[in-house]
Every structure is written in structure tokens, then in C-alpha cells.
Amino acid sequence: MTRCASPSLFAGIASFLSAATGGRFRLIIGYETAEGMERAREGAAIVEGAGGHGLVMPRALPAPLTAFSVRMVMADGAVYVTEDSRALVYLGGRAVDRSSEGALASASALALIDEAAAANGDESSIVRACGGWESVGEGMVGAYVDRAAARITAVAGGAPAPRSVSCADPSGILPLLLNRVGVRRVEEGDVRLVVSSDGRSLTASVPDGEVRAALAEALSSNPALPQGPGLYCVDPAFVLDADALCAGALLAKSLPR
């Protein structure tokens, strides 16, 4: 469900959102690596040039934080630029039914976006504004951690986790979450968690069946959620993207000794 994060794609999304909202729309743009910042800013310039309003994430962050931001700022959509310059497209606000806010765009919506993008044959002619877009505040990270920690505590209870955990997360957000919910993190723990750099998939040193059993109360069956190995959503009421950060912290909190 990814597309090349090209100027044509941003112009196509702008056209789609303008039609869907009937006016000035808001699009969040996130990116996986620091190298994606320039592409994100170019996308924001195209959005502004098309009559929308672009909001760029404050730094390279996992995709679930971009999905989270869609609802937090009531944006009409978001684009997440991956390490290989592909784009994950999310919808929200006036562009989609409320039950799917923060979810990846449907196949039918992507088809309309592709059609609009194809109309931009000469990318050099796409209007780019010289400014006008904003940066999402760093406080969005804290808001995400607060929300995730509250969800984890509600599901797993307040008792300290019985196992020690080691983790690998390029963003540093999973260690922050583990500390917040009282999970003991060590160099070589009983359980090892690895989160992909885009924050969407989780690998654990315990069998998948045990993972799913530990997360059973929190996992969602919402059809808008992506499915696949290591993809989990533990907060369907707020974030509909696969969220390995929240899932990993909840797993560490929930696993029995």
C-alpha cells in the first residue's frame, strides 16, 4: 500500500483532500530518517501551493506517531516518508469516517489519489509555496508516550513487570515507554524486543502465540488495521496504525515469569 513519495504523489493527495474536504485541508508529513526531511518539506511546500496547510513532524520519528498526530491535531490526512522514499498515506478529519481516522488509506482512496497524481505529468510545473507550513511541536512525542502509558497501565495493571527486558529501538521511544510503565530494562534481559525503524513491526524473543496471548485483551480486530507478522494495534480507540512501540511495552508489562 505504499507509493513513491514523489512531488506528483503529494500533488495528487492535495487534489484528493481538497475535493474530499471542500476547502482548505491539513496534511501532516512525517519521515523515518533524517534524510527524509527535505522530501517532507518539499511535500509541505506542494501542499501549501495547492491551497492546503502542511505540518511537518519535528524530527525523524516512527510512523505510529504520525498516525497519532492525525487525530491529535484533527488533520485530514498524513504522509509518512519511509527510509526507501516510499509513502504511507493516512486519512483523517473530514476526509474519512471517524472510525477510520489515523488508519492507512483504503484501496479505493489510493486509486483516486493515484489518478490525481498521474495528471501531474511534469513535476517541475507543480506549484511549490515558499513557506507557510508549520512544524508539529516536540510535545507530540510526550503526548504519545502519555497516551500509550495510560493505555498500557489500564490493560496490564499497575504491578511491576516480573521479567527483565532488553530492547532495540532506533527512535529511543520504546525505552522511554518501558521506563514510564515500570519495566526493568537491562542489556541482556529475559525477553528481547526489537522494533523496526518505522515503528510498525515487533519481533520478540518469545513465540508469537505467547505474544498474542499476552496482548489478547488489547488487540483490535478493526478491518482498517494492517495485518501481517509482528503487526499489532493495542489502542484502536485512538491510533489505527500498527504500533510496535506500544505493543512492545505492553508485552513486556504483561508477560508472566
Position 73 scores a pLDDT of 92
Using only C-alpha atoms, the chain has a radius of gyration, in whole angstroms, of: 19
CA angle 89, 92, 98 (to 5 degrees): 135
pLDDT at 255: 82
Q: What residue ranges do the domains of the chain occupy? A: 3-135, 139-254
pLDDT band at 161 (very low <50, low <70, confident <90, very high): low
Indicate the length of the chain as a whole number.
Answer: 257
More confident residue, 185 or 75: 75
Find out whether 82 and 2 touch, Cβ atoms under 8 Å. yes
pLDDT value, residue 156: 87
Position 254 pLDDT exceeds 90: no
Kindly report the CATH number that applies to the domain delimited by 3-135.
Answer: 3.40.120.10
Dihedral of alpha carbons 11, 69, 82, 90, sign = negative
pLDDT at site 158: 65
pLDDT above 90: residue 116 = yes
The set of cell numbers assigned to 7 is: 512531488
Instruction: For residue range 197-253, list pLDDT tens digits in order.
Output: 999 999 999 998 889 988 988 998 888 888 889 999 998 888 889 999 999 999 999
Give the separation between CA 39 and CA 87, rounded to whole angstroms.
11
**Amino acid 125: pLDDT:** 85
Residue 120 has pLDDT above 90, yes or no: no
Residue 257 has pLDDT above 70, yes or no: no
pLDDT of 186:
86
Q: How confident is the model at residue 162 (pLDDT cuts 50, 70, 90)?
A: low
Give CA torsion, residues 184, 185, 190, 196, to 10 deg. 130
